[in-house]
Each structure stands twice: as structure tokens, then as C-alpha cells.
Amino acid sequence: MTRPNPPFVSVIVPCRNEEQHLDRCLESILASDYPSDRMEVLVVDGMSSDRTRDIVACHAARNPMIRLLDNPRRIAPCGLNIGIQAARGEVIVRMDAHVIYLPSYLPILVRALFEYGADNVGGVLETLPAAETPIARAIALALGHRFGVGNSYFRVGASGPRWVDSLAFGCFRREAFERAGLFDEELVRNQDDEFNFRLIRRGGRVLLMPTARAYYVARTSLRQLWRMYFQYGYFKPLVARKVGRVMTLRQLVPSLFLTTLAACGLAAVWWRPAALAGAGIAAAYAAAVLAASTAAAPRHGPRVAAALALVFPCCTSRTVWDSCWDCGITCSGRGNRWRSSRPCRCRARERLHK
């Protein structure tokens, strides 16, 4: 650090039922090269029903820097806000229980925060499989592949530091929350994207540091991956309504693809060439999936390549806009905001909070 004393850092880890991953996460944070006397770790638990709280208590007994806080509302943005309000640090870092952090991760982010004059800095996530099954390995590959995640630089990497619109698990100046407010507690997912948009709109800057690297442990099954991406897609329209527009053009690609296929299918009833156009678009997508999957075969084997052919379409469905817009509009009524206190008849949204 260039300052006489490194800034005090508050690490916030919101979690719920993370007994499989939390121990490794906390061990990696404690192994950081950042001075241990200049940081605290606040684990904000969403009333876990597994051994998560016992794991935190065990670490806290050996390391006074770790504190356990309760999050009665259980969802991530509420946990983040509880942690921010309890934090003592000049710098506030969000960390995820599914991630293992290299010792250099935290020092790089804190240093860049001040050297570049940024308000939020994040690193690159390298995705690890949660198991050695072909599906689990394919999920990890897809989450770091441009065909699976587009130009999400915090997943695919970058050649050098770059200003971005959003990133994962940011390292913030405390002033960023004074400028932009806290995380939106109506957003079970995508709260990072919405906060970063708010921060940038108020003059803040978000920086990606590719030298800061961490290992993200991916989901195990297609069902878990689909549920995660459905939640992302489900809340994207709500974020767009809150900020008044779509935040990035890449979010429109799945929508345009699905809309075009649907339009071709409807038009084919009256105009036969539309059926050929739709079939051509679907065939082109299938060929792209097959090509991207086959390219992985020499290094990862045919079984993983075959699994990739199933995983890539699941990633593409991240923004299932048609169902999301319909569900979001139904739940939001005529107001400009989704009133979470109002009973919602949408079963999908109820499942997201469980």
C-alpha cells in the first residue's frame, strides 16, 4: 500500500445454507496477504438450517476478526445492507461463500481502489467444477466461455485494467454507499448490476482488475444452473424498469433470438418462407452450440463436450425475457416499483425467496 497505514477493510459475506463451501471461503479470506489487524469479516447469515452457523462460530472462536450477524429476511441484498451498516471499515468488500480467494486478491483490489480513483473494483472469477461429473465440469467450462456468458469480463478475463459497467463481488469505498445508497432489497438477484448502474449514474467508476483472481465453485447440476439463471432472467426486467432502460446491449441478445424464432413460427401460419427462416436460425444456433462443444473435446473429453451441448442452451436462457416480462408486469401492477410487501400470486417469485 502507498499510504502509511492500509485502510481498514470490512469484508461482508452474505450466505444461507452454505456448509459445503463456507469453510474453504473463510480459510481463503484469513489467508489473505492483507494485514489481519486492518480487516474484519462479517458473515451475515440468512438463518441457515444446516451447519453454516456452526462453521462461522468455530472460525470466530479462533479469529476475533470474524463476526456472525443475523439476516432474518434471508436474501442477499438484505444481508449486504446489514453488513454495510455494521461495518467499521473505510473500504467495504463483498465476498461470496461459493468463492475461494487468492492471497493477493484483497490487496490488489484495495490498492487499485485508491491508485485509479475508482469507487468499486473487482477481479476475475475462474470457475471450478463442484464435482467431477461431466455435467459439473461442463457447467464450469460454460461459465468461463464467451459463448456461455458473452463479454462478461469478470468471467472471461481481460488483458489489463478496464472500466466496466458491472462486476462481481466488488470492493467499495464507503463513500460509494453514501453517494448511491444501499443495495435494493427488492432484488433477490441482480442487485450488483442495479447498484453499479446507480453508482455510475451518480458519477462513480467501476474498475476490473484482471490480476485479482478468485475461484468460483459452480453449480453441480443442470437443474441448479437453470434455477440460478431463471432467477437472473426473472429479475432483469425489474432492474430495467427501475433504472428506466436495459443496462447493456448483451442482455438483449437472448431476447432477440427467442423473439425472432417466435415471430417466424407465428408468421409461418400465413407465410411459408417464415418457417424456413426460423428453421435456419435454429439450425445456425444448434451448429454454433455443436461447434463450441466439440472444440472442448480434445482437452476435456467427449463426455464433457456432450454435456456442454446441454449446458450452453441453459446459459443462453439467462434472460428468458418473454416469461420474465409477463411475470414482472403481473406482479408489479400499475406502479413503477415492485411492491414486495403486497401479496404476489406469481408462484415463480414465491419460489425465489425460499
Average pLDDT over residues 18-46: 96
Q: Whole-model pTM?
A: 0.78
Provide the pLDDT for residue 282: 84
Return the C-alpha cell found at 207: 474498475
Find the mean pLDDT for residues 304-310. 90
Q: Which amino acid is at 354?
A: K
Residue of 300 and 189 predicted with greater confidence:
300
Q: Given a cut of 80, is residue 231 above it in pLDDT? A: no
Between these two residues, 146 and 230, which has the higher pLDDT value? 146
Range of weakest confidence among 11-20, 38-47, 303-312, 319-328: 319-328
Delimit the CATH 3.90.550.10 region(s) of the chain. Answer: 1-97
Inform me whether the pLDDT recorded for 279 exceeds 90: no
Q: Is pLDDT of 269 > 90?
A: no
User: Quick one: 1-97 is in which CATH superfamily?
Assistant: Spore Coat Polysaccharide Biosynthesis Protein SpsA; Chain A (3.90.550.10)
Rounded to whole angstroms, the Cα distance separating 311 from 289 reads 9
Among 40-44, 263-267, 314-318, 338-342, which range has the highest average pLDDT? 40-44
13, 208, 127, 296 alpha-carbon torsion, rounded to 10°? 170
The pLDDT assigned to 250 comes to 59
- Is the pLDDT score of 202 beyond 90? yes
Give the lowest-confidence range in 103-107, 185-189, 198-202, 227-231: 227-231
Q: Work out the burial of residue 90: count CB atoms within 10 Å of its CB; fewer than 13 is exposed, 13-18 middle, 19 or more buried.
A: middle
Q: What is the pLDDT of residue 345?
A: 36
CA–CA separation, 185 and 80 (whole Å): 9
Q: What percent of the chain shows pLDDT beyond 70?
A: 81
In whole angstroms, what is the distance from residue 80 CA to residue 89 CA?
A: 14
